[in-house]
Amino acid sequence: MEVAAAAAAAGPPSNPRTVEAVFRDFKGRRAGMIKALTTDVDEFYQQCDPDKENLCLYGYPAEIWEVTLPAEEVPPELPEPALGINFARDGMDEKDWLSLVAVHSDTWLLSVAFYFGARFGFDRADRKRLFTMINDLPTIFEVVTGTVKKQAKEKPSVSSHNGNKSKSGSKARGSEMGKYSKPAKEEDDGLDEEEEEQGECAACGESYVSASDEFWICCDLCEKWYHGKCVKITPARAEHIKHYKCPACTNKRARP
């Protein structure tokens, strides 16, 4: 990705004012930085030339990334990411270096999100809700190091926490997955949000969020949950599937 193209595609400065808008801003920036450290890693590595000045990795709401110099204005409009990520590139193992950049990227994303929260006066309940939404996503570090995949294998599926799941037929759910959530706890201060048994999509690692109306489907063999979009299953198609087998289980049974 050319720096000039990235800067042009970044568009006008983001100015989210609600919890949902800040979370969308967070997800967009996070997606861009994950691309830099995974699918675009060769290009990212080349751009982080140790012979250049102090460079930073930026993520933008449009899900793009950019390696460039820090903002010249003081104080900057937004918190700044880690400075000089390029200097350590050749002095460390590449995996360790990418992990280090990932950790600093996670820190920066949180600082930007809660900067918006402070700037626009989020109260205690809003800050808690924002953190819960963010915490339901794997960190960049977990994605880059593969930790999120290991956790998905080790954790039991949502169904193992709850006896409401039927063993017959395909277990498809959209917003109905809320039935696997714990009931909300009513606290005296009225600020605590609903606590849930969180399930992760076995394909992308993202957690179920009760506010989302995304369609989910469960494999009848391994009993893991998937976003419908991740396995290319629509609600209409799911209605005609008696026993759903996920891609992983299908591939296993196809082997001789």
Q: Give the whole-angstrom CA distance, residue 246 versus residue 225.
A: 9
User: Residue 41 falls within a domain, yes or no?
Assistant: yes
User: Residue 187 falls within a domain, yes or no?
Assistant: no
Q: At what angle do helices 94-119 and 124-135 cross, to 10 degrees?
A: 160
Residue 167: the pLDDT is 36
Whether residue 14 has pLDDT greater than 90: no
Percent of the chain with pLDDT over 90: 47
Segment 186-211 mean pLDDT:
61
User: Residue 235 falls within a domain, yes or no?
Assistant: yes
Number of domains in the chain: 2
User: Residue 176 falls within a domain, yes or no?
Assistant: no
Percent of the chain with pLDDT over 70: 71
Q: Give the other-Cβ count within 10 Å of 8's Cβ.
A: 9
Residues 58 and 135 in one domain: yes
Residue 51: the pLDDT is 94
Q: Give 2 or 127, the one with higher predicted confidence.
A: 127
> The pTM is what?
0.57
User: Residue 9 falls within a domain, yes or no?
Assistant: no
User: Residue 194 falls within a domain, yes or no?
Assistant: no
Residues 101 and 28 in one domain: yes
User: Residue 173 falls within a domain, yes or no?
Assistant: no
Domain of residue 44, residue span: 19-145
Residues 49 and 133 in one domain: yes
Whether residue 113 has pLDDT greater than 70: yes
Final residue in a domain of this structure, among 112, 145, 178? 145
CATH number at residue 231: 3.30.40.10
Final residue in a domain of this structure, among 145, 175, 210? 145
Residues 125 and 205 in one domain: no
Residues 56 and 137 in one domain: yes
Amino acid letter, 229 = K
| H or E element in which residue 66 lies | strand 64-68
> For the segment 21-69, what is each residue's pLDDT rounded down to a tens digit?
999 999 999 999 999 999 999 999 999 999 999 999 999 999 999 999 9
Segment 191-214 mean pLDDT:
65
Q: Give the whole-angstrom CA distance, residue 197 versus residue 193.
A: 13
Phi-psi group of 14: left, alpha or beta (phi > 0 → left; psi -120 to 50 → alpha; rest → beta): beta
